[in-house]
Amino acid sequence: MSRPQAIPPIIPRTGTSLSVVRDGKVLVVLRGKQPHKGCWSFPGGSQEAGETLEEAARRELLEETGLVAGELSFLGLVERIARDDAGSVTHHYVLARYRCDAFSGNAAAGDDAVDLRWVDAREARRLPCVPQLAGMIAELLAAGVGEE
């Protein structure tokens, strides 16, 4: 008699999200993996053991976009909880948000990002985005984040 396979509990995971702004536009990546596969989001991802949140942000930016971050500014924490149709939690992330005003390298999608582009708030509203992305882009640009 076979045992039913145990489903691992969903526990909160820490990660990062980066708002990279250039010339009034924000860099977004098309997610190639779950959660939110096929949706546009800020670059970022899970923190690895032994890594500070800032180190994780820098690594994720490099892996997903090929860009090397200059100085990062901490914007705060955001919590993302996803549920299935039955209301069960499928993902729970606590993300450290950073702003990147300076970077080097040539942007190219990599790792779990299948595409990337620079968008303004109007363009972001037309893309299939992770929840709250278009609003966050509008707030960043309205506040002049990354603008000289």
| Bridge pairing between strands 68-69 and 72-83 | unpaired
pLDDT tens for 5-25 read 556 678 899 999 999 999 989
Integer Cα distance of 34 and 91 in angstroms:
10
Integer Cα distance of 25 and 42 in angstroms:
12
Name which of 4, 7, 26 is nearest 101 in CA terms.
Answer: 26
Walk me through the domains of the chain, giving residue ranges and CATH numbers: 13-142 (3.90.79.10)
DSSP assignment letter at 112: T
Rounded to a whole number of angstroms, the CA Rg of the chain reads 16
pTM for the predicted model, two decimal places: 0.83
pLDDT tens for 107-131 read 998 888 899 999 988 888 888 887 7
